[in-house]
C-alpha cells in the first residue's frame, strides 16, 4: 500500500442521467389535434432532409424528436432492459399485439428513412439525444482556471429509455486536458418548463463518475460491488456543489476466484457492460437471425449475414423455448483496475429562476492510496531462489546443472542412435548383418568435454591403454608336384614354401603334411 502524490488528475468519465419527464418538459402536446396533422408535419420534415448530412445537421421539429425517442426507447426496452427470457417474450408481444400495430407501422417508416439516407442506428441515437437535450442545455462546459484556455465540450448520448436519458461530456484528442487545479472543473446549467411540470412528481438527476452508460449498468454488475462514485440527489430548480476525489486505486492480478474474478481490459476490448450486452446480441441472433438495433454498435463486419432486426418477421415460441444468456455472461469479468471515488454533495439552495438547475463539479485532493497485487515470485526471483536452494542442500551450482543436463542429453542421444541402428540391422538380410555389426563395433567415439560425467571422480587417473601388437607376416606357399623319393614311396605329399619376393626357391623349404 502506497500514497500517491500527483500534480494533476485525469478527467474522469462522467455520466449524467435525467428523467424522461424532465427532458420532455419543453414539448407541449396538443392531445386534441388530429393524428393526420401530426403525420403530415412529420412527413414534410423528413421530405426536407433527403440525405445523410441534412438529416444529421438540420434541427428537428419536436414531433420528429418524440417519435425517434419513442422508437429508440422501445427497442432498448425490448432488447436490453429485461431478462433474456423476458426479452424473447417482449419481442413476441411486439410482433402479435393488435394495440401495437400503429407503433410497428411508425417504426417501419423510420427504418426505411434511415436505410435510404445511409444512417446507422448509433448515429440516429446521437442525433435524437442531441435534439432532446439542446432544448434543456444552457451550459455544458469543461472549466479551468486558465482564462486563455477554451475547451470544446461535446455531448454524447449513452442511453435512451422510457424512464431516463443519459449523456456524457465528450472530448476529442485536441481538447482532452487533465485537471491541473483543485476546485471547479465542470459546470452544467439546465432549464426545464416549470409550467408543464407543475404539480407532477419529478425524479432527481444523477451523476456517475465511473462513466457507466446508465443506471442499468449498476444492476447488471455482480453482487457485492461497491456503490461508490454515484449520487442521485441532483433535484431540479436547485444549486448543487458536488466535490469528488479518488479515495483509492486497486490493481489486482487476473484471477478466476469466486467473488473477485477479473481481467485486464486493454484498449479496444469490451468492458464488462459491453461484454454482457454482446451476450444479449448473440442470443437475439440465435433466436431471430438478425442484429438487435440498440446493440448494433457492437457488430463488426457481419451485418450482411445478420441484418438489423424487423421483429414482425421474428417468430418466437416463448412457451416451449427457454432463452438465456447466463452462460455467456459468466465469461464477462470486471476490470482488475478498480478506482474508488469519494463524493461530497451539498445543496446551496434554490435558484433565483425556478426553471434552472445548476450543477458544479469540483475536484478535491490529488492524493490517494494505491494497493497493487504482485506475484510473490517473478521468473528471476524463482531462478535465484532455486539456485540458492540447490547450492545449499546439494552443493551444486548452475554450471553443474548445465553440465549434468548436457551429459544426460549426450548419453541418451548416443543410446537412441545405437538402438535405431541395431533395429535397422536386425531387419536387414542376414548376409549383411555381420558386416554392419562389425562396423558398429568399430565406430569411433569421441568424448565431449561439456558432456562428461559431472559425478566422475576428477582425481582418479584414466586407465592407460593396453599395448597392442600387430604381426604382419607375408608368406608365400607354393605346392610342388615333385617330392623326394622317400616321401613318394611312403605316399606322403610335400609342400614347398618359398621366401617372400620369389616365385620359386632353389632350396625350397619342405613341410611334411600327414
For the chain, domain boundaries: 1-18+138-252+336-394
Full DSSP string of 209-262: TT--SSHHHHHHSPTT----SEEEEE-TTEEEEEEEEEEEEEEPPPB--TTT-E
The pLDDT assigned to 304 comes to 87
CATH 2.40.50 assigned to 1-18+138-252+336-394 = no
Which residue numbers in the chain have pLDDT < 50?
Answer: 437, 440, 446-448, 468-483, 487-490, 492-498, 500-503, 505, 511, 513-514
* Overall pTM surpassing 0.95 (yes/no): no
The pLDDT assigned to 502 comes to 47
SS3 call for 367: coil
Residue with cell 548436457: 406
The pLDDT assigned to 430 comes to 55
**Gap between the Cα atoms of 322 and 316, Å rounded:** 11
**Gap between the Cα atoms of 110 and 42, Å rounded:** 11
Of the candidates 151, 156, 342, which has an alpha carbon nearest to the alpha carbon of residue 244? 342
The pLDDT assigned to 245 comes to 95
Q: Regarding beta strands 262-263 and 356-363, do their DSSP bridges make them parallel or antiparallel, or are they unpaired?
A: unpaired
The pLDDT assigned to 473 comes to 43
How do residues 329-349 score in pLDDT, each as one tens digit? 989 999 999 999 999 999 999
**Gap between the Cα atoms of 359 and 364, Å rounded:** 16
Burial (0-12, 13-18, 19+ Cβ within 10 Å), 93: middle
Burial (0-12, 13-18, 19+ Cβ within 10 Å), 124: buried
Amino acid at each position: 500500500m502506497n500514497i500517491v502524490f500527483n500534480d494533476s488528475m485525469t478527467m474522469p468519465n462522467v455520466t449524467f442521467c435525467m428523467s424522461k419527464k424532465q427532458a420532455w418538459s419543453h414539448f407541449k402536446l396538443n392531445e386534441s389535434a388530429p393524428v393526420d396533422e401530426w403525420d403530415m408535419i412529420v412527413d414534410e420534415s423528413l421530405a426536407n432532409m433527403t440525405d445523410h448530412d441534412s438529416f444529421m445537421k438540420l434541427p428537428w421539429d419536436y414531433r420528429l424528436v418524440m417519435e425517434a425517442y419513442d422508437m429508440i426507447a422501445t427497442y432498448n426496452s425490448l432488447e436490453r432492459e429485461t431478462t433474456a427470457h423476458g426479452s424473447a417474450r417482449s419481442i413476441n408481444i411486439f410482433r402479435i399485439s393488435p394495440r401495437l400495430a400503429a407503433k410497428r407501422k411508425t417504426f417501419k417508416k423510420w427504418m426505411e428513412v434511415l436505410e435510404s439516407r445511409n444512417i446507422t442506428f448509433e448515429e440516429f441515437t446521437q442525433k435524437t439525444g442531441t435534439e432532446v437535450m439542446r432544448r434543456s442545455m444552457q451550459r455544458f462546459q469543461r472549466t479551468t482556471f486558465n482564462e486563455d484556455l477554451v475547451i470544446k465540450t461535446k455531448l454524447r448520448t449513452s442511453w435512451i429509455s422510457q424512464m431516463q436519458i443519459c449523456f456524457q461530456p465528450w472530448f476529442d484528442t485536441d481538447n482532452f486536458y487533465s485537471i491541473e487545479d483543485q476546485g471547479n472543473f465542470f459546470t452544467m446549467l439546465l432549464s426545464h418548463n416549470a409550467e408543464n411540470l407543475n404539480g407532477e412528481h419529478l425524479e432527481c438527476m444523477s451523476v456517475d463518475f465511473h462513466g457507466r452508460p446508465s443506471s442499468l449498468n449498476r444492476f447488471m454488475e455482480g453482487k457485492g460491488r461497491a456503490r461508490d462514485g454515484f449520487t442521485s440527489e441532483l433535484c431540479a430548480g436547485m444549486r448543487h456543489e458536488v466535490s469528488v476525489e479518488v479515495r483509492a486505486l486497486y490493481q489486482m492480478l487476473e484471477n478466476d476466484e469466486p467473488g473477485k474474478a477479473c481481467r485486464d481490459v486493454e484498449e479496444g476490448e469490451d468492458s464488462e457492460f459491453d461484454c454482457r450486452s454482446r451476450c444479449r446480441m448473440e442470443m437475439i441472433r440465435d433466436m431471430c437471425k438478425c442484429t438487435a438495433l440498440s446493440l448494433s454498435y457492437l457488430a463488426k463486419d457481419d451485418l450482411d449475414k445478420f441484418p438489423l432486426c424487423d421483429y414482425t418477421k421474428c417468430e418466437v415460441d416463448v412457451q416451449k423455448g427457454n432463452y438465456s444468456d447466463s452462460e455467456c455472461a459468466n465469461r464477462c469479468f470486471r476490470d482488475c483496475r478498480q478506482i474508488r471515488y469519494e463524493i461530497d454533495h451539498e445543496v446551496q439552495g434554490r435558484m433565483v429562476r425556478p426553471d434552472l438547475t445548476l450543477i458544479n463539479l469540483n475536484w478535491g485532493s490529488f492524493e490517494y492510496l494505491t494497493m497493487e497485487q504482485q506475484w510473490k515470485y517473478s521468473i528471476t526471483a524463482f531462478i535465484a531462489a532455486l539456485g540458492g536452494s540447490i547450492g545449499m542442500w546439494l552443493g551444486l551450482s548452475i554450471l553443474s546443472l548445465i553440465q549434468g543436463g548436457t551429459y544426460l542429453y549426450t548419453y541418451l542421444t548416443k543410446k537412441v542412435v545405437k538402438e535405431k541402428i541395431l533395429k535397422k540391422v536386425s531387419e536387414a538380410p542376414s548376409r549383411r548383418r555381420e558386416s554392419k555389426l562389425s562396423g558398429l563395433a568399430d565406430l569411433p567415439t569421441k568424448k565431449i568435454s561439456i558432456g562428461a560425467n559431472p559425478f566422475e571422480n576428477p582425481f582418479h587417473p584414466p586407465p592407460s591403454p593396453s599395448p597392442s601388437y600387430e604381426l604382419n607376416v607375408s608368406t608365400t606357399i607354393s605346392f610342388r608336384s615333385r617330392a623326394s623319393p622317400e616321401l613318394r614311396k611312403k605316399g606322403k605329399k610335400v609342400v614347398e614354401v618359398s621366401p617372400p619376393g620369389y616365385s620359386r626357391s632353389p632350396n625350397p623349404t619342405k613341410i611334411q603334411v600327414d
